[in-house]
Structure 1
Protein backbone atom coordinates (compact mmCIF):
# COMPACT_ATOMS: atom_id res chain seq x y z
CA UNK A 1 0.00 0.00 0.00
CA UNK A 2 1.39 3.43 -0.90
CA UNK A 3 0.20 7.03 -0.76
CA UNK A 4 -0.34 7.28 -4.51
CA UNK A 5 -2.78 4.39 -4.42
CA UNK A 6 -4.68 6.18 -1.65
CA UNK A 7 -4.81 9.35 -3.76
CA UNK A 8 -6.27 7.35 -6.63
CA UNK A 9 -8.93 5.80 -4.40
CA UNK A 10 -9.93 9.21 -3.01
CA UNK A 11 -10.10 10.66 -6.51
CA UNK A 12 -12.41 7.86 -7.67
CA UNK A 13 -14.58 8.27 -4.57
CA UNK A 14 -14.81 12.05 -5.02
CA UNK A 15 -15.63 11.93 -8.74
CA UNK A 16 -17.57 8.62 -8.84
CA UNK A 17 -15.68 7.89 -12.06
CA UNK A 18 -12.39 6.23 -12.97
CA UNK A 19 -12.17 8.42 -16.07
CA UNK A 20 -12.60 11.71 -14.20
CA UNK A 21 -10.32 10.48 -11.41
CA UNK A 22 -7.57 9.76 -13.94
CA UNK A 23 -7.99 13.24 -15.41
CA UNK A 24 -7.74 14.79 -11.96
CA UNK A 25 -4.60 12.79 -11.15
CA UNK A 26 -3.06 13.42 -14.61
CA UNK A 27 -2.57 9.74 -15.41
CA UNK A 28 -4.05 7.42 -18.00
CA UNK A 29 -7.13 5.54 -16.79
CA UNK A 30 -5.57 2.12 -17.25
CA UNK A 31 -2.72 2.99 -14.87
CA UNK A 32 -5.09 4.31 -12.23
CA UNK A 33 -7.40 1.30 -12.52
CA UNK A 34 -4.44 -1.05 -12.26
CA UNK A 35 -3.19 0.58 -9.05
CA UNK A 36 -6.66 0.53 -7.46
CA UNK A 37 -6.99 -3.17 -8.37
CA UNK A 38 -3.57 -3.91 -6.82
CA UNK A 39 -4.64 -2.19 -3.62
CA UNK A 40 -7.91 -4.11 -3.51
CA UNK A 41 -6.00 -7.36 -3.95
CA UNK A 42 -3.65 -6.47 -1.09
CA UNK A 43 -6.58 -5.53 1.17
CA UNK A 44 -8.55 -8.61 0.19
CA UNK A 45 -11.71 -6.60 -0.49
CA UNK A 46 -13.24 -4.59 -3.29
CA UNK A 47 -13.41 -0.87 -2.60
CA UNK A 48 -15.74 0.01 -5.47
CA UNK A 49 -18.75 -1.48 -7.19
CA UNK A 50 -18.27 -0.93 -10.92
CA UNK A 51 -21.02 -1.04 -13.53
CA UNK A 52 -21.30 0.44 -17.00
CA UNK A 53 -23.35 3.31 -15.54
CA UNK A 54 -21.80 4.15 -12.20
CA UNK A 55 -19.01 3.64 -9.68
CA UNK A 56 -19.75 3.67 -5.97
CA UNK A 57 -18.00 2.72 -2.75
CA UNK A 58 -18.57 -0.66 -1.15
CA UNK A 59 -18.86 -1.03 2.62
CA UNK A 60 -15.13 -1.81 2.65
CA UNK A 61 -14.47 1.32 0.62
CA UNK A 62 -16.48 3.44 3.04
CA UNK A 63 -14.42 2.03 5.92
CA UNK A 64 -11.14 2.63 4.08
CA UNK A 65 -11.75 6.24 3.08
CA UNK A 66 -11.41 8.12 6.43
CA UNK A 67 -8.13 6.42 7.31
CA UNK A 68 -6.79 7.04 3.80
CA UNK A 69 -7.58 10.74 4.09
CA UNK A 70 -5.88 10.89 7.48
CA UNK A 71 -2.80 9.14 6.10
CA UNK A 72 -2.48 11.61 3.23
CA UNK A 73 -3.03 14.57 5.57
CA UNK A 74 -0.37 13.20 7.93
CA UNK A 75 2.08 12.80 5.03
CA UNK A 76 1.45 16.38 3.91
CA UNK A 77 1.83 17.61 7.49
CA UNK A 78 5.15 15.77 7.78
CA UNK A 79 6.44 17.44 4.61
CA UNK A 80 5.29 20.83 5.87
CA UNK A 81 6.99 20.32 9.26
CA UNK A 82 10.28 19.40 7.57
CA UNK A 83 10.04 22.44 5.32
CA UNK A 84 9.31 24.67 8.34
CA UNK A 85 12.37 23.28 10.12
CA UNK A 86 14.46 24.50 7.19
CA UNK A 87 12.82 27.92 7.24
CA UNK A 88 10.12 27.46 4.59
CA UNK A 89 6.36 27.58 5.30
CA UNK A 90 4.38 25.40 2.91
CA UNK A 91 1.38 23.09 2.87
CA UNK A 92 -2.26 24.10 3.03
CA UNK A 93 -4.28 26.69 4.97
CA UNK A 94 -8.08 26.47 5.11
CA UNK A 95 -9.93 29.43 6.62
CA UNK A 96 -13.65 29.80 7.23
CA UNK A 97 -15.64 33.00 7.60
CA UNK A 98 -19.14 34.36 7.89
CA UNK A 99 -19.97 36.45 4.80
CA UNK A 100 -20.44 39.63 6.88
CA UNK A 101 -17.11 39.62 8.74
CA UNK A 102 -15.96 43.18 9.51
CA UNK A 103 -13.48 42.87 12.38
CA UNK A 104 -10.79 42.03 9.82
CA UNK A 105 -10.25 43.01 6.21
CA UNK A 106 -10.07 39.38 5.21
CA UNK A 107 -9.00 39.85 1.55
CA UNK A 108 -6.18 42.14 2.72
CA UNK A 109 -5.10 39.63 5.38
CA UNK A 110 -5.04 36.77 2.87
CA UNK A 111 -3.12 38.94 0.39
CA UNK A 112 -0.47 39.75 3.00
CA UNK A 113 -0.27 36.10 3.98
CA UNK A 114 0.18 34.98 0.38
CA UNK A 115 2.95 37.53 -0.15
CA UNK A 116 4.78 36.24 2.93
CA UNK A 117 4.19 32.54 2.31
CA UNK A 118 3.77 31.95 -1.45
CA UNK A 119 4.23 28.18 -1.12
CA UNK A 120 1.08 27.76 0.99
CA UNK A 121 -2.15 26.76 -0.75
CA UNK A 122 -4.97 28.91 0.67
CA UNK A 123 -8.63 27.90 0.72
CA UNK A 124 -11.49 30.08 1.99
CA UNK A 125 -14.91 28.68 2.90
CA UNK A 126 -18.00 30.66 3.85
CA UNK A 127 -20.59 29.37 6.29
CA UNK A 128 -22.69 30.00 9.36
CA UNK A 129 -20.97 30.58 12.69
CA UNK A 130 -22.23 27.36 14.25
CA UNK A 131 -21.11 25.30 11.26
CA UNK A 132 -17.69 26.97 11.19
CA UNK A 133 -17.07 26.12 14.86
CA UNK A 134 -17.94 22.51 14.13
CA UNK A 135 -15.56 22.39 11.16
CA UNK A 136 -12.69 23.86 13.18
CA UNK A 137 -13.36 21.36 15.96
CA UNK A 138 -13.37 18.49 13.44
CA UNK A 139 -10.10 19.62 11.86
CA UNK A 140 -11.68 20.64 8.52
CA UNK A 141 -10.71 24.29 9.04
CA UNK A 142 -7.54 25.75 10.52
CA UNK A 143 -9.28 28.92 11.72
CA UNK A 144 -12.58 30.76 11.26
CA UNK A 145 -14.19 34.15 11.82
CA UNK A 146 -17.60 34.14 13.53
CA UNK A 147 -20.37 36.62 14.32
CA UNK A 148 -22.32 35.62 17.45
CA UNK A 149 -24.36 36.84 20.41
CA UNK A 150 -22.58 38.44 23.38
CA UNK A 151 -21.56 35.81 25.92
CA UNK A 152 -21.09 33.10 23.29
CA UNK A 153 -18.26 30.71 24.20
CA UNK A 154 -17.43 28.14 21.51
CA UNK A 155 -16.58 24.71 22.93
CA UNK A 156 -13.77 22.45 21.83
CA UNK A 157 -11.78 25.23 20.15
CA UNK A 158 -9.57 28.12 21.15
CA UNK A 159 -11.00 31.54 20.51
CA UNK A 160 -10.38 35.25 20.72
CA UNK A 161 -12.93 38.03 20.79
CA UNK A 162 -12.20 40.60 18.09
CA UNK A 163 -14.89 43.30 18.09
CA UNK A 164 -18.38 44.33 19.18
CA UNK A 165 -20.86 46.16 16.98
CA UNK A 166 -24.52 47.12 16.85
CA UNK A 167 -26.86 46.31 13.96
CA UNK A 168 -28.52 49.00 11.85
CA UNK A 169 -31.75 48.92 9.87
CA UNK A 170 -31.20 48.49 6.13
CA UNK A 171 -34.04 49.89 4.00
CA UNK A 172 -34.77 50.79 0.38
CA UNK A 173 -33.92 54.39 -0.63
CA UNK A 174 -37.60 55.31 -0.95
CA UNK A 175 -38.67 53.66 2.32
CA UNK A 176 -40.37 56.01 4.84
CA UNK A 177 -37.63 55.27 7.38
CA UNK A 178 -34.78 56.13 5.01
CA UNK A 179 -34.63 59.77 6.11
CA UNK A 180 -34.92 59.11 9.85
CA UNK A 181 -31.82 59.91 11.95
CA UNK A 182 -32.49 56.84 14.12
CA UNK A 183 -35.24 54.37 15.06
CA UNK A 184 -35.95 51.86 17.81
CA UNK A 185 -37.17 48.27 17.64
CA UNK A 186 -40.71 49.35 18.53
CA UNK A 187 -40.86 51.39 15.31
CA UNK A 188 -39.48 48.48 13.29
CA UNK A 189 -41.75 45.78 14.71
CA UNK A 190 -44.54 46.47 12.20
CA UNK A 191 -42.25 46.11 9.18
CA UNK A 192 -41.79 42.97 7.08
CA UNK A 193 -38.27 41.60 7.44
CA UNK A 194 -35.79 39.77 5.26
CA UNK A 195 -33.55 37.68 7.52
CA UNK A 196 -31.40 34.57 7.80
CA UNK A 197 -32.82 31.12 8.52
CA UNK A 198 -34.51 30.57 11.87
CA UNK A 199 -32.18 28.86 14.35
CA UNK A 200 -28.98 30.27 12.86
CA UNK A 201 -26.59 32.39 14.93
CA UNK A 202 -27.08 35.29 12.49
CA UNK A 203 -30.87 35.19 12.95
CA UNK A 204 -30.65 34.72 16.72
CA UNK A 205 -29.05 38.12 17.18
CA UNK A 206 -32.16 39.91 15.89
CA UNK A 207 -34.66 37.45 17.40
CA UNK A 208 -33.10 37.86 20.84
CA UNK A 209 -33.24 41.67 20.65
CA UNK A 210 -36.95 41.73 19.75
CA UNK A 211 -37.78 39.14 22.41
CA UNK A 212 -35.90 41.13 25.06
CA UNK A 213 -37.94 44.20 24.10
CA UNK A 214 -41.19 42.21 24.38
CA UNK A 215 -41.88 42.68 20.67
CA UNK A 216 -42.94 40.41 17.85
CA UNK A 217 -42.05 40.87 14.19
CA UNK A 218 -42.77 39.21 10.86
CA UNK A 219 -39.92 37.62 8.92
CA UNK A 220 -41.48 37.42 5.48
CA UNK A 221 -38.42 36.09 3.66
CA UNK A 222 -35.64 33.81 4.86
CA UNK A 223 -32.42 33.81 2.83
CA UNK A 224 -29.07 32.07 3.13
CA UNK A 225 -26.80 34.99 2.27
CA UNK A 226 -26.45 38.72 2.83
CA UNK A 227 -26.16 39.50 -0.89
CA UNK A 228 -29.65 38.20 -1.69
CA UNK A 229 -30.99 39.86 1.45
CA UNK A 230 -29.73 43.27 0.31
CA UNK A 231 -31.13 42.80 -3.19
CA UNK A 232 -34.56 42.02 -1.75
CA UNK A 233 -34.40 45.07 0.52
CA UNK A 234 -33.38 47.21 -2.45
CA UNK A 235 -36.54 46.09 -4.26
CA UNK A 236 -38.74 47.01 -1.32
CA UNK A 237 -39.68 43.47 -0.25
CA UNK A 238 -38.77 44.13 3.36
CA UNK A 239 -36.16 45.63 5.65
CA UNK A 240 -33.18 43.97 7.31
CA UNK A 241 -30.97 44.26 10.36
CA UNK A 242 -27.27 43.93 9.58
CA UNK A 243 -24.01 44.82 11.35
CA UNK A 244 -23.33 48.53 11.04
CA UNK A 245 -19.82 48.35 9.62
CA UNK A 246 -20.87 45.79 7.03
CA UNK A 247 -23.99 47.74 6.06
CA UNK A 248 -21.99 50.97 5.63
CA UNK A 249 -20.34 49.49 2.53
CA UNK A 250 -23.59 48.47 0.81
CA UNK A 251 -24.84 50.30 -2.29
CA UNK A 252 -28.38 51.15 -3.34
CA UNK A 253 -29.86 51.03 0.17
CA UNK A 254 -30.06 53.31 3.21
CA UNK A 255 -28.95 52.50 6.76
CA UNK A 256 -30.61 53.83 9.89
CA UNK A 257 -29.11 53.50 13.41
CA UNK A 258 -31.24 51.44 15.82
CA UNK A 259 -30.99 52.70 19.38
CA UNK A 260 -31.76 49.35 20.98
CA UNK A 261 -30.69 47.13 18.08
CA UNK A 262 -28.96 43.75 18.25
CA UNK A 263 -25.31 43.52 19.26
CA UNK A 264 -22.93 41.16 17.47
CA UNK A 265 -19.55 39.95 18.70
CA UNK A 266 -16.97 38.70 16.23
CA UNK A 267 -14.61 35.90 17.24
CA UNK A 268 -11.57 34.24 15.74
CA UNK A 269 -11.54 30.50 16.52
CA UNK A 270 -8.83 27.93 15.85
CA UNK A 271 -8.07 24.33 16.74
CA UNK A 272 -7.13 23.38 20.30
CA UNK A 273 -4.55 21.00 18.82
CA UNK A 274 -1.05 22.14 17.77
CA UNK A 275 -1.42 24.02 14.47
CA UNK A 276 0.37 23.17 11.25
CA UNK A 277 3.22 25.52 10.27
CA UNK A 278 0.92 27.24 7.77
CA UNK A 279 -1.85 27.70 10.36
CA UNK A 280 0.61 28.89 13.02
CA UNK A 281 1.91 31.53 10.61
CA UNK A 282 -1.64 32.70 9.91
CA UNK A 283 -2.46 33.00 13.62
CA UNK A 284 0.77 34.87 14.21
CA UNK A 285 -0.14 37.31 11.45
CA UNK A 286 -3.46 37.94 13.22
CA UNK A 287 -1.77 38.38 16.57
CA UNK A 288 -3.28 35.21 18.04
CA UNK A 289 -0.70 32.86 19.53
CA UNK A 290 -2.21 29.36 19.99
CA UNK A 291 0.47 27.95 22.27
CA UNK A 292 -0.33 28.22 25.94
CA UNK A 293 -4.07 28.87 25.55
CA UNK A 294 -6.59 26.69 27.30
CA UNK A 295 -8.73 24.51 24.99
CA UNK A 296 -11.96 26.17 26.04
CA UNK A 297 -10.52 29.46 27.15
CA UNK A 298 -10.61 32.82 25.43
CA UNK A 299 -8.20 35.64 24.86
CA UNK A 300 -10.01 38.91 25.43
CA UNK A 301 -9.20 41.78 23.07
CA UNK A 302 -6.79 44.35 24.41
CA UNK A 303 -6.33 48.01 23.62
CA UNK A 304 -3.65 47.15 21.09
CA UNK A 305 -5.18 43.95 19.70
CA UNK A 306 -4.74 43.77 15.90
CA UNK A 307 -7.92 44.05 13.84
CA UNK A 308 -10.07 45.04 16.89
CA UNK A 309 -11.02 48.66 16.08
CA UNK A 310 -12.06 50.96 18.91
CA UNK A 311 -15.81 51.17 19.24
CA UNK A 312 -16.51 47.77 17.74
CA UNK A 313 -17.83 47.39 14.22
Structure 2
Protein backbone atom coordinates (compact mmCIF):
# COMPACT_ATOMS: atom_id res chain seq x y z
CA UNK A 1 0.00 0.00 0.00
CA UNK A 2 1.21 3.52 -0.78
CA UNK A 3 2.21 5.06 2.60
CA UNK A 4 1.13 8.48 1.31
CA UNK A 5 -2.48 7.35 0.79
CA UNK A 6 -5.29 6.16 3.03
CA UNK A 7 -7.02 2.83 2.36
CA UNK A 8 -9.64 4.64 0.23
CA UNK A 9 -6.98 6.37 -1.88
CA UNK A 10 -7.04 9.85 -0.33
CA UNK A 11 -3.77 11.65 0.52
CA UNK A 12 -2.69 10.71 4.03
CA UNK A 13 0.08 13.29 4.49
CA UNK A 14 1.24 16.45 2.72
CA UNK A 15 5.01 16.10 2.39
CA UNK A 16 5.62 17.86 -0.93
CA UNK A 17 3.87 19.08 -4.06
CA UNK A 18 5.86 16.85 -6.38
CA UNK A 19 3.58 13.89 -5.68
CA UNK A 20 0.34 15.87 -5.49
CA UNK A 21 -1.87 15.36 -8.57
CA UNK A 22 -2.84 18.57 -10.36
CA UNK A 23 -6.53 17.90 -9.72
CA UNK A 24 -5.89 17.60 -5.99
CA UNK A 25 -3.84 20.79 -6.03
CA UNK A 26 -6.66 22.62 -7.78
CA UNK A 27 -9.21 21.28 -5.32
CA UNK A 28 -7.16 22.58 -2.38
CA UNK A 29 -6.87 25.99 -4.04
CA UNK A 30 -10.64 26.13 -4.63
CA UNK A 31 -11.31 25.26 -0.99
CA UNK A 32 -8.70 27.74 0.24
CA UNK A 33 -10.29 30.49 -1.86
CA UNK A 34 -13.58 29.75 -0.16
CA UNK A 35 -11.92 30.23 3.23
CA UNK A 36 -10.10 33.35 2.01
CA UNK A 37 -13.47 34.79 0.96
CA UNK A 38 -14.85 34.43 4.46
CA UNK A 39 -16.31 30.94 4.20
CA UNK A 40 -16.26 28.81 7.33
CA UNK A 41 -16.05 25.15 8.29
CA UNK A 42 -17.18 25.41 11.91
CA UNK A 43 -15.92 22.61 14.14
CA UNK A 44 -14.61 20.60 11.17
CA UNK A 45 -11.78 19.43 13.44
CA UNK A 46 -13.67 19.51 16.72
CA UNK A 47 -11.93 17.23 19.22
CA UNK A 48 -8.87 16.72 16.99
CA UNK A 49 -5.48 17.49 18.51
CA UNK A 50 -2.90 19.14 16.24
CA UNK A 51 0.73 19.66 17.24
CA UNK A 52 3.02 22.24 15.64
CA UNK A 53 6.25 20.27 15.93
CA UNK A 54 8.90 22.82 14.97
CA UNK A 55 12.59 22.03 15.24
CA UNK A 56 13.46 25.27 13.43
CA UNK A 57 12.34 28.88 14.04
CA UNK A 58 9.25 30.24 12.29
CA UNK A 59 6.86 33.18 12.51
CA UNK A 60 4.43 33.13 9.56
CA UNK A 61 4.14 29.37 9.09
CA UNK A 62 3.77 28.41 12.75
CA UNK A 63 1.27 31.13 13.64
CA UNK A 64 -0.85 30.66 10.52
CA UNK A 65 -1.07 26.90 11.08
CA UNK A 66 -2.10 27.50 14.68
CA UNK A 67 -4.73 30.02 13.64
CA UNK A 68 -5.98 27.72 10.87
CA UNK A 69 -6.35 24.80 13.29
CA UNK A 70 -8.08 27.04 15.83
CA UNK A 71 -10.60 28.26 13.25
CA UNK A 72 -11.41 24.64 12.43
CA UNK A 73 -12.06 23.87 16.10
CA UNK A 74 -8.95 21.76 16.79
CA UNK A 75 -6.99 21.52 20.02
CA UNK A 76 -3.50 22.98 19.43
CA UNK A 77 -0.25 21.87 21.04
CA UNK A 78 2.74 24.12 20.46
CA UNK A 79 6.06 22.25 20.61
CA UNK A 80 9.20 24.32 21.22
CA UNK A 81 12.40 22.33 20.72
CA UNK A 82 14.42 24.75 22.87
CA UNK A 83 12.32 23.97 25.97
CA UNK A 84 11.63 20.29 25.29
CA UNK A 85 13.33 17.02 26.15
CA UNK A 86 15.26 17.42 22.90
CA UNK A 87 17.69 19.49 24.98
CA UNK A 88 18.25 16.37 27.11
CA UNK A 89 19.12 14.20 24.13
CA UNK A 90 15.72 12.81 23.14
CA UNK A 91 15.64 11.96 19.42
CA UNK A 92 13.19 13.57 17.04
CA UNK A 93 11.56 10.19 16.43
CA UNK A 94 11.07 9.53 20.14
CA UNK A 95 9.61 13.01 20.54
CA UNK A 96 7.18 12.34 17.69
CA UNK A 97 6.16 8.94 19.05
CA UNK A 98 5.69 10.35 22.56
CA UNK A 99 3.31 13.08 21.39
CA UNK A 100 1.55 10.66 19.04
CA UNK A 101 0.93 8.34 22.01
CA UNK A 102 -1.06 11.13 23.67
CA UNK A 103 -3.66 10.84 20.91
CA UNK A 104 -2.50 13.68 18.69
CA UNK A 105 -3.77 13.13 15.12
CA UNK A 106 -2.14 15.99 13.23
CA UNK A 107 1.52 16.96 13.14
CA UNK A 108 2.76 20.12 11.44
CA UNK A 109 6.51 19.60 11.27
CA UNK A 110 9.36 21.95 10.39
CA UNK A 111 12.93 20.69 10.36
CA UNK A 112 16.32 21.93 9.25
CA UNK A 113 17.29 18.56 7.71
CA UNK A 114 16.17 17.45 4.24
CA UNK A 115 13.87 14.44 4.41
CA UNK A 116 13.37 14.61 8.19
CA UNK A 117 9.63 15.22 7.93
CA UNK A 118 9.11 12.29 5.56
CA UNK A 119 11.06 10.08 7.97
CA UNK A 120 8.69 10.99 10.80
CA UNK A 121 5.68 10.35 8.55
CA UNK A 122 6.85 6.76 8.14
CA UNK A 123 6.34 6.30 11.88
CA UNK A 124 2.79 7.72 11.84
CA UNK A 125 0.04 5.46 13.11
CA UNK A 126 -3.13 4.90 11.06
CA UNK A 127 -5.33 8.00 11.22
CA UNK A 128 -2.38 10.31 11.92
CA UNK A 129 -1.46 12.95 9.33
CA UNK A 130 1.91 14.69 8.93
CA UNK A 131 2.16 18.06 7.16
CA UNK A 132 5.51 19.35 6.00
CA UNK A 133 5.98 22.95 7.17
CA UNK A 134 9.43 23.14 5.58
CA UNK A 135 12.33 20.68 5.62
CA UNK A 136 15.88 21.80 4.91
CA UNK A 137 15.98 23.11 1.38
CA UNK A 138 13.69 20.42 -0.04
CA UNK A 139 10.00 21.24 0.29
CA UNK A 140 7.53 23.77 1.70
CA UNK A 141 4.24 22.60 0.16
CA UNK A 142 1.80 24.94 1.92
CA UNK A 143 3.95 27.93 0.95
CA UNK A 144 3.79 26.75 -2.64
CA UNK A 145 0.01 26.47 -2.38
CA UNK A 146 -0.47 29.91 -0.84
CA UNK A 147 1.78 31.42 -3.52
CA UNK A 148 -0.38 29.84 -6.20
CA UNK A 149 -3.53 31.11 -4.49
CA UNK A 150 -2.09 34.64 -4.37
CA UNK A 151 -1.11 34.44 -8.04
CA UNK A 152 -4.52 33.07 -8.99
CA UNK A 153 -6.35 35.83 -7.13
CA UNK A 154 -4.37 38.46 -9.05
CA UNK A 155 -4.25 36.81 -12.49
CA UNK A 156 -7.11 34.32 -12.72
CA UNK A 157 -7.20 30.54 -12.85
CA UNK A 158 -5.63 30.15 -16.31
CA UNK A 159 -1.85 30.11 -15.80
CA UNK A 160 -1.09 29.20 -19.41
CA UNK A 161 -0.49 32.79 -20.53
CA UNK A 162 1.50 33.86 -17.48
CA UNK A 163 5.19 34.69 -17.33
CA UNK A 164 6.59 34.26 -13.83
CA UNK A 165 10.15 34.88 -12.66
CA UNK A 166 11.69 33.40 -9.50
CA UNK A 167 14.72 35.40 -8.41
CA UNK A 168 17.59 34.93 -6.00
CA UNK A 169 18.90 32.12 -3.85
CA UNK A 170 17.07 29.29 -5.59
CA UNK A 171 19.68 26.70 -4.61
CA UNK A 172 18.89 26.87 -0.90
CA UNK A 173 15.16 27.60 -1.20
CA UNK A 174 12.56 24.99 -0.33
CA UNK A 175 9.96 27.61 -1.29
CA UNK A 176 11.34 27.83 -4.83
CA UNK A 177 11.21 24.06 -5.26
CA UNK A 178 7.58 23.88 -4.15
CA UNK A 179 6.66 26.88 -6.31
CA UNK A 180 8.31 25.29 -9.35
CA UNK A 181 6.39 22.03 -8.84
CA UNK A 182 3.12 23.94 -8.51
CA UNK A 183 3.70 26.25 -11.48
CA UNK A 184 4.48 23.28 -13.72
CA UNK A 185 1.42 21.38 -12.49
CA UNK A 186 -0.82 24.38 -13.17
CA UNK A 187 0.57 24.82 -16.69
CA UNK A 188 2.33 28.15 -16.26
CA UNK A 189 3.16 29.56 -19.70
CA UNK A 190 6.76 30.57 -18.99
CA UNK A 191 8.81 30.08 -15.84
CA UNK A 192 11.98 32.13 -15.60
CA UNK A 193 14.64 31.58 -12.96
CA UNK A 194 17.28 34.21 -12.27
CA UNK A 195 20.15 34.31 -9.80
CA UNK A 196 23.92 34.13 -9.40
CA UNK A 197 25.39 30.97 -10.93
CA UNK A 198 26.55 29.82 -7.47
CA UNK A 199 22.99 30.05 -6.16
CA UNK A 200 21.23 28.09 -8.91
CA UNK A 201 20.20 24.45 -8.26
CA UNK A 202 20.68 21.33 -10.36
CA UNK A 203 19.32 20.95 -13.89
CA UNK A 204 16.49 18.64 -12.80
CA UNK A 205 15.10 21.28 -10.44
CA UNK A 206 15.24 23.80 -13.29
CA UNK A 207 13.66 21.58 -15.94
CA UNK A 208 11.36 23.50 -18.25
CA UNK A 209 12.59 26.88 -16.99
CA UNK A 210 14.29 29.75 -18.80
CA UNK A 211 17.43 30.31 -16.75
CA UNK A 212 19.39 33.56 -16.80
CA UNK A 213 21.73 35.69 -14.70
CA UNK A 214 20.54 38.91 -16.35
CA UNK A 215 17.90 40.21 -13.96
CA UNK A 216 16.92 43.16 -16.13
CA UNK A 217 16.16 40.87 -19.07
CA UNK A 218 14.39 38.40 -16.77
CA UNK A 219 11.95 41.12 -15.68
CA UNK A 220 10.89 42.07 -19.19
CA UNK A 221 7.11 41.63 -19.48
CA UNK A 222 6.66 39.30 -16.51
CA UNK A 223 3.29 39.03 -14.77
CA UNK A 224 4.77 38.15 -11.38
CA UNK A 225 8.15 38.37 -9.69
CA UNK A 226 8.77 35.93 -6.85
CA UNK A 227 11.69 37.22 -4.80
CA UNK A 228 13.62 34.89 -2.50
CA UNK A 229 15.54 35.55 0.69
CA UNK A 230 19.31 35.27 0.55
CA UNK A 231 19.73 32.34 2.96
CA UNK A 232 23.12 33.10 4.43
CA UNK A 233 22.60 30.58 7.24
CA UNK A 234 22.50 27.72 4.72
CA UNK A 235 25.36 28.72 2.44
CA UNK A 236 29.13 28.58 2.50
CA UNK A 237 31.12 31.78 2.52
CA UNK A 238 32.01 33.25 -0.85
CA UNK A 239 28.85 32.34 -2.78
CA UNK A 240 28.12 36.07 -3.08
CA UNK A 241 30.84 38.68 -3.29
CA UNK A 242 29.03 41.22 -1.10
CA UNK A 243 25.50 42.18 -0.11
CA UNK A 244 25.90 45.47 -1.97
CA UNK A 245 26.87 43.67 -5.18
CA UNK A 246 23.99 41.24 -4.75
CA UNK A 247 21.46 44.05 -4.41
CA UNK A 248 22.93 45.81 -7.43
CA UNK A 249 22.66 42.71 -9.62
CA UNK A 250 19.64 40.84 -8.20
CA UNK A 251 17.71 43.26 -5.98
CA UNK A 252 14.22 44.26 -7.09
CA UNK A 253 14.02 48.04 -7.34
CA UNK A 254 11.27 50.30 -8.66
CA UNK A 255 13.29 50.84 -11.85
CA UNK A 256 13.52 47.09 -12.49
CA UNK A 257 9.86 46.58 -11.69
CA UNK A 258 8.95 49.02 -14.47
CA UNK A 259 10.33 46.48 -16.97
CA UNK A 260 7.55 44.05 -15.96
CA UNK A 261 3.97 44.09 -17.22
CA UNK A 262 2.11 47.17 -15.92
CA UNK A 263 -0.11 45.04 -13.68
CA UNK A 264 2.66 42.71 -12.52
CA UNK A 265 2.65 41.62 -8.89
CA UNK A 266 5.56 41.23 -6.49
CA UNK A 267 5.75 38.30 -4.08
CA UNK A 268 8.11 37.29 -1.28
CA UNK A 269 7.71 34.38 1.16
CA UNK A 270 9.38 36.29 4.03
CA UNK A 271 11.21 37.11 6.07
CA UNK A 272 12.44 39.89 3.78
CA UNK A 273 15.97 41.21 3.76
CA UNK A 274 15.09 44.76 2.84
CA UNK A 275 17.72 46.51 0.79
CA UNK A 276 19.23 43.18 -0.30
CA UNK A 277 16.75 41.21 -2.41
CA UNK A 278 14.03 43.86 -2.40
CA UNK A 279 13.86 47.63 -1.98
CA UNK A 280 11.56 49.19 0.61
CA UNK A 281 9.44 51.08 -1.91
CA UNK A 282 8.80 47.85 -3.83
CA UNK A 283 8.10 45.72 -0.74
CA UNK A 284 5.59 48.30 0.49
CA UNK A 285 4.35 49.45 -2.94
CA UNK A 286 1.04 49.05 -4.67
CA UNK A 287 2.15 46.00 -6.67
CA UNK A 288 3.34 44.08 -3.62
CA UNK A 289 1.29 41.05 -2.55
CA UNK A 290 3.51 40.12 0.40
CA UNK A 291 0.83 40.64 3.04
CA UNK A 292 -1.78 38.97 0.83
CA UNK A 293 0.48 35.91 0.86
CA UNK A 294 0.48 35.96 4.65
CA UNK A 295 -3.31 36.20 4.77
CA UNK A 296 -3.66 33.40 2.24
CA UNK A 297 -1.43 31.22 4.38
CA UNK A 298 -4.23 30.84 6.93
CA UNK A 299 -6.80 29.93 4.26
CA UNK A 300 -4.51 27.39 2.54
CA UNK A 301 -3.58 25.75 5.82
CA UNK A 302 -7.23 25.50 6.80
CA UNK A 303 -7.91 23.72 3.50
CA UNK A 304 -5.02 21.31 3.99
CA UNK A 305 -5.82 20.52 7.63
CA UNK A 306 -9.49 19.96 6.77
CA UNK A 307 -8.64 17.69 3.83
CA UNK A 308 -6.31 15.47 5.84
CA UNK A 309 -7.98 15.43 9.27
CA UNK A 310 -11.66 16.21 8.60
CA UNK A 311 -14.31 13.57 8.40
Give the TM-score, by structure 2 length: 0.29
Give the TM-score, by structure 1 length: 0.29
For the pair shown, which has the larger CA radius of gyration, 1 or 2? 1
